Amino acid sequence: MSVTAFPPTAPLIVLGAPLSGTDRVAALLRQAGLFLGNDRNRFEESHFFLDQSRWVLRCAHAEWDVPEPLSWVFEDEETTQALTEALRARVEAKGIRGFLGWKTHLRVRSLTGFTDPWGWADTLACFTLPLWLRVFPSARVVHVVRNGVDVALDLAGREAERRAQLRSRARSSRCLDPLRAFEVWSAYVAAANAATGQIARERCLHLHCEDLAHRPEELLLELTEFARIELEPEQREEALAGLDPLPVDAFLESPEGRALHRRCKEHSLMKAYSKAAS
């Protein structure tokens, strides 16, 4: 495997709405040679960077399923700049040691000395990306989009399973309703589209999660070219062999899903999604 390294301050950020396949795409990139942190959770997200996004949302009195208050924060430049400086300080502090791993941290001390291709995955970065683009002005972005109705149904199903976990900050009563869960999906996609629309096209790759099932080899090629990573044929086969695509058009399998699709298919983001996927 040969790799053309990013500049030390140019990460690749994988983002998308919850249950949209960001973990699958991140796993492909990691297997291809992109460093995504020594502190990943089971969704391929870095605990360090995920914690920073959660902190930003708390500052705005927002949550993952009620992100709207963060947009009000961005209306105030002084507050936005204060958050940017705080994130920059956190990235440069010792807390980054968990992300780098203690051996690497001893060697490079900070991200400014880390020359391997690197990045992180974080669904909340759909909302915090404007701040990260200030901290890392040359960052690249992979935006993963999945059918909003399938996402909404999966969110509602997940929340139904953990509705009794009252102490969990991750529990969402809003997403118990599939239609409200669709609103959450649309908030993530709209925020990601707005943020990525502010950077050069060549620095952003928009992917459809369904392509992991429809054309995995082409998708892997797009990802590795975007990340400037070259894979040997056997490495490519190994990465594809471990791929576990999410179900495609699962909403068709239930009356509830078909009904929700009829209600949401005229939404502007669903129309844009369908047009781009065709």
Task: Tell me if 172 is assigned to some domain.
Answer: no
How do residues 193-248 score in pLDDT, each as one tens digit?
A: 999 999 999 999 999 999 999 999 999 999 999 998 888 888 888 888 888 999 99
Q: Which domain holds residue 230?
A: 2-146+184-277
Are the beta carbons of 126 and 188 closer than 8 angstroms?
A: yes
**Which two structure tokens, joined as six digits, stand for 72?**
């009000």
Give the mean model confidence (pLDDT) for residues 140-153: 97
pLDDT of residue 90: 92
pLDDT of residue 274: 83
pLDDT of residue 236: 87
Neighbours of 109 (CB within 10 A): 15
Give the range among 94-98, 234-238, 273-277 with minimum mean pLDDT.
Answer: 273-277
Give the range among 34-48, 72-86, 108-122, 202-216 with minimum mean pLDDT.
Answer: 108-122
Instruction: Provide the CATH number for the domain around residue 126.
Output: 3.40.50
Task: Tell me if 157 is assigned to some domain.
Answer: no
Give the range among 13-17, 105-109, 124-128 with minimum mean pLDDT.
Answer: 105-109
pTM over 0.95: no
**Which two structure tokens, joined as six digits, stand for 246?**
């999410």
pLDDT of residue 8: 56
Distance from C-alpha of 123 to C-alpha of 18, rounded to nearest angstrom? 6
Task: Tell me if 161 is assigned to some domain.
Answer: no
Task: Tell me if 174 is assigned to some domain.
Answer: no
Task: Tell me if 164 is assigned to some domain.
Answer: no
Percent of the chain with pLDDT over 90: 75
Structural domains of the chain, count: 1
The residue that leads in pLDDT, 150 or 109, is: 150
How do residues 10-38 score in pLDDT, each as one tens digit?
A: 899 999 999 999 999 999 999 888 999 99
pLDDT of residue 150: 97
Give the mean model confidence (pLDDT) for residues 40-69: 96
Task: Tell me if 265 is assigned to some domain.
Answer: yes
Q: Which residues, at least 6 apart from 175, have a Cβ–Cβ distance to it below 8 Å?
A: 65, 152, 155, 156, 158, 159, 181, 184
Task: Tell me if 167 is assigned to some domain.
Answer: no
DSSP 165-202: -TT-TT--SGGGSHHHHHHHHHHHHHHHHHHHTTS-GG
pLDDT of residue 252: 96
